[in-house]
Amino acid sequence: MTNLCRRCPIPGPWGASGSWPPESVLEEPTDGEDFRVAVLAGSTRLLGGDDDPARERDWQDAVVGLAAAVTERGGTLVAPADVALVNLLAQVALPHSRPHGAEAVHARTPVEAMMTGTDSAAARRLLAPFAHRGTVTLMDADRSPLPLEELPLPGQEDGALLRDDAHQPFHPALLEGVLGAVVIHPGGRMTEEMRALRAADLRWVAVLGGEDLADDMSLWAREHDPTGPLLKGLAELEELAGAMPHGLVMEMLVDRWLDTARR
């Protein structure tokens, strides 16, 4: 019998003892690794050239590709609490969320979101459903997790219209304990933040779409763009797809970082 459930390694027609339910149904999967990747991204409103659907789709595809590559390998995504960014990361990470109380319990969530700028009422409200589901840990600027009882449950919102456009800037605390950092379309307004990232001298940094940065940082971004080296010899993939294959790029990037870290 083909077992399609990773949590249910059932060797026989029922279970190891032939009884039901199988003893291993709630065991945690043992594959995957405990690692962290920082995600920095200028939201689509910072890209320059307003209302550019092609660039917005590229931004979204890159974020989704990275989120899938990291969470499917058991990793954690660490990001500023930008609502648009974290919302997209969390939707991809939802299948890897901490189980409910009736199931086995993970020690961590697949996404950590830090309020690196001012305290964001929009982040508290709009990301709260993911926090209660065990997908996102929302943290204040001191990197202290916000207690779930301080975050509204669905239906408890005050109904006020909240804007989610408060930029949450890069902060060195985002890099603590990470394997590497991936920057996606930072936009020209994030030039100084990218200089701070460069000064952090992190071992692995990958930048996609840094052409809007100031001249010196635009060159730095091109030097850290992984797509050329990773897709060398596979250029036909981009031509066939009609767009950059971000899912493949992110999988290859994360695998390369993990393989190198193991040595």
In this structure, the answer to whether residues 5 and 44 fall within a common structural domain is no
In this structure, the answer to whether residues 163 and 213 fall within a common structural domain is yes
In this structure, the answer to whether residues 44 and 22 fall within a common structural domain is no
In this structure, the answer to whether residues 85 and 15 fall within a common structural domain is no
pLDDT confidence of residue 43: 64
| Residue closest to 124 by CA, chosen among 93, 76, 91, 158 | 158
pLDDT confidence of residue 105: 44
User: Distances in Å between the alpha carbon of 65 and those of 17, 29, 118, 250, 254?
Assistant: 41, 23, 29, 6, 11
pLDDT confidence of residue 26: 35
Would you tell me how many other CB atoms lie within 10 Å of the CB of residue 187? 23
For residue 228, the domain's CATH number is 3.40.50
- Give the pLDDT of the chain (263 residues) as one tens digit per residue: 433 343 333 333 333 344 433 333 333 443 456 899 999 987 655 544 456 777 888 889 999 999 999 999 999 999 999 999 999 999 999 998 865 554 444 458 999 999 998 888 888 888 999 999 999 999 987 888 998 888 887 665 555 545 555 688 899 999 999 999 999 998 888 899 999 999 999 999 999 988 888 888 999 999 999 988 887 766 555 454 556 788 889 999 999 999 999 88
In this structure, the answer to whether residues 25 and 127 fall within a common structural domain is no
Q: What is the dihedral of CA 55, 58, 60, 66, to 10 degrees?
A: -140
User: Distances in Å between the alpha carbon of 127 and those of 89, 132, 170?
Assistant: 11, 9, 19
Sign of CA dihedral 229, 90, 33, 6: negative
In this structure, the answer to whether residues 70 and 126 fall within a common structural domain is yes
State the residue for tokens 């920082």: 38
pLDDT confidence of residue 17: 40
In this structure, the answer to whether residues 50 and 14 fall within a common structural domain is no
> Over the Cα atoms of the chain, what is R_g?
20
What is the DSSP pairing of strand 76-80 with strand 111-114?
parallel
pLDDT confidence of residue 25: 36
Q: Is 201 left (phi over 0), alpha (psi -120 to 50) or beta?
A: left
Would you tell me how many other CB atoms lie within 10 Å of the CB of residue 6? 11
In this structure, the answer to whether residues 199 and 229 fall within a common structural domain is yes
pLDDT confidence of residue 218: 92
pLDDT confidence of residue 27: 37
Buried-exposed string 15-31: b where 16+ CB fall within 10 A, e elsewhere = beeeeeebeeeeeeeee
Write the single-letter amino acid at 116. T
- Dist. CA 188–CA 210, nearest whole Å: 8
In this structure, the answer to whether residues 192 and 90 fall within a common structural domain is yes
In this structure, the answer to whether residues 71 and 126 fall within a common structural domain is yes
Give me the number of domains the chain comprises. 2
Contact, 61 vs 52, CB < 8 A?
A: no
In this structure, the answer to whether residues 27 and 40 fall within a common structural domain is no
| Residue closest to 86 by CA, chosen among 168, 161, 207 | 168
pLDDT confidence of residue 181: 97
- Dist. CA 71–CA 193, nearest whole Å: 26
Q: Which domain holds residue 83?
A: 36-262
pLDDT confidence of residue 67: 97
In this structure, the answer to whether residues 155 and 248 fall within a common structural domain is yes
Q: How many residues does the chain have?
A: 263
